[in-house]
Amino acid sequence: MPSSNAQSSSATPKQEGTVGSASAPGAVLIYSHSWIPGQVDGVAVRMMAHVQALVERGVKVTLVTPDFVMKGVDGMHQEPPKFKAIEGVEHVTLKSDFTPVYRKNLCMQLSFENLWTLVALIHRTKPDLVHGTQEASMQVLATACIYCDVPLVVSLHTDVAQIASRDSGFSAFIGGSIGRFYSWASVRMTYWGYRNWAFAGAYYFPVSEQSQAILNNAGVHRERIAPQVWGPMVDRKLFRIDMPAEEVAATRKRLTFGVENAFLLVYVGRVTAEKDIQFLIDAVGRAPKRVIIAVIGAGSMAAELAAQHGLENRLYCTGLFVGREEVAMALRAADVHVSASTMETVGFTAMEALSCGTPMIAANAQGFAIHLTHGTNARLYTPHDTASFDRELAFMLTNKPEGCWSREELRRTMECASVDKCTEVALNVYAAAKRSDMRVARIFFAFCFMVLNWFFTGFIFK
């Protein structure tokens, strides 16, 4: 059996549990491509909460993630990061590599070593099903599952095709005819991958209606897509209104550099180009002098923005990873949570802000358009339209926190987004996932697809 970097606590007994009408499986193997400690990332946050919820229901969970180690690459981990252990959960890591489209992100390496590690792990832990987050090397997990005859559920969290179509700043091939071809080919390869994984037996679990539309547009057969969406998920015990007033005041003072009449905008999430953070920075430059923005999170733009940190730029940004408690406190201390991103399948931090009683200004696109209501808990502006954003900010500057804009009413709009309700939805999807028919043929084609993916990502898109 190949070696792995495992962190294991005392084993949780294999047993059956129930939530509402959904019967919990006895054992599940969870793969998440995002799990770095302190990461402000919707995938990591959702999957961490989901694993904990499964454990609390008596499900034996084996966790698999990339090791996030890229030796010899500047700015990357040289040694494995210190993952936070979850009681009763064995954590196994796989070799990592850069994603072929968004070259700043990591995923599991598309390799036969990782394939064999997964096959051996599935044979040893004997899960009732495998649940993986969609990423560039999903063919490795799909091939392992079809070989081991275990149902595979894939949750789609990110609009990778839109990232690929925009390309600039995401890959090594920028500009000119090569860049345009790379962008075009990346989108087709992404859609091709979705169909390949479905053919290899994957049952897709979309996190939102937007994710469902992405899969439909990719040509994935409807029978391979769960009719239920995972939906918004918020830890309402952490993200709440009744945080200690002294701590909220201290956080607000820190984020606003002590300006007494400041109007505080808070952005939370990955500090990267595709989130259109520069749009927000420019908007603050046009706004009244009392408007200050705090950018909470880390990413490829973090160093650049941290260099501009200070009252003179009305920008708070340290560029460091932060814990969930600090994220909650920042959202509670804010006057408005803001995002210019146009590629959110759900809009995770919006749900967290609303649970803290903080309204939202967001682009009227994708997940934000689906899960937020203009004039009730958010102001939605026309994407990339500076005049539209400025009008919505002007409204919020004069709006009183009363009626539907009171903290209590804003929090009430997220009652449906509890972890418990989302866990029940996931268990219903798990129950619907089946082993594939025509297994021999599917094994052959899944293996061929893996070799083709390895060829394209290893030579053409490297």
Q: How many domains does the chain have?
A: 2
Mean pLDDT, residues 16-32 taken together: 72
Q: Are residues 261 and 405 in the same domain?
A: yes
Q: Are residues 153 and 258 in the same domain?
A: no
The pTM assigned to this predicted structure is 0.74
Asked whether residue 132 is domain-assigned, the answer is yes
pLDDT above 70 coverage of the chain, percent = 81
Cα–Cα distance list, 362 to 45, 211, 326 (Å): 20, 19, 22
Asked whether residue 238 is domain-assigned, the answer is no
Asked whether residue 448 is domain-assigned, the answer is yes
Asked whether residue 185 is domain-assigned, the answer is yes
Predicted pLDDT at 462: 53
- Most confident of the following: 34-38, 143-147, 285-289, 369-373: 285-289
Q: Are residues 126 and 15 in the same domain?
A: yes
Asked whether residue 30 is domain-assigned, the answer is yes
Q: Are residues 209 and 269 in the same domain?
A: no
Predicted pLDDT at 3: 40
Predicted pLDDT at 278: 94
Domain that holds residue 271: 245-416
Is the pLDDT at 9 greater than 50? The verdict is: no
- Most confident of the following: 29-33, 222-226, 342-346: 29-33
Write out pLDDT tens, residues 113-140: 999 999 999 999 999 999 999 887 888 8
Q: Are residues 332 and 408 in the same domain?
A: yes
What is the CATH number for 168?
Answer: 3.40.50.2000
Lowest mean pLDDT among 40-44, 100-104, 259-263, 297-301: 100-104
Please enumerate in sequence order all residues whose Cβ is within 8 A of that of 394, keeping only pairs 6 or more positions apart, or say none.
Answer: none
Predicted pLDDT at 14: 36
Asked whether residue 100 is domain-assigned, the answer is yes
Q: Are residues 325 and 307 in the same domain?
A: yes
Predicted pLDDT at 454: 67
- Most confident of the following: 51-55, 178-182, 192-196: 51-55
Is the pLDDT at 11 greater than 60? The verdict is: no
Residue ranges of the alpha helices (H) in 276-365?
A: 277-286, 302-306, 324-333, 348-355
Q: Are residues 217 and 316 in the same domain?
A: no
Q: How confident is the model at residue 390 (pLDDT cuts 50, 70, 90)?
A: very high
Beta strands in 347-400 (DSSP E): 360-363, 378-381
Mean pLDDT, rounded, of the chain:
83
User: Which one-letter amino acid corresponds to residue 324?
Assistant: R
- Rounded Cα gap, residues 374 and 21, in angstroms: 34
Lowest mean pLDDT among 31-35, 283-287, 405-409, 416-420: 416-420
Q: Are residues 44 and 24 in the same domain?
A: yes
Predicted pLDDT at 337: 97
**Could you count the other beta carbons within 10 Å of the beta carbon of residue 209?**
17
Q: Are residues 154 and 74 in the same domain?
A: yes
**106 or 243: which leads in pLDDT:** 243
Q: Are residues 225 and 360 in the same domain?
A: no
Asked whether residue 329 is domain-assigned, the answer is yes
Angle at 228 between CA 224 and CA 232, to 5 degrees: 125
Structure tokens at 160: 């990778």
Structure tokens at 276: 């259109």
Asked whether residue 240 is domain-assigned, the answer is no
> Which residue is listed with tokens 């009183």?
400
Q: How confident is the model at residue 329 (pLDDT cuts 50, 70, 90)?
A: very high
Predicted pLDDT at 438: 61
**267 or 368: which leads in pLDDT:** 267
Q: How confident is the model at residue 104 (pLDDT cuts 50, 70, 90)?
A: low
Q: Are residues 314 and 356 in the same domain?
A: yes
Q: Are residues 293 and 367 in the same domain?
A: yes
Mean pLDDT, residues 97-103 taken together: 71
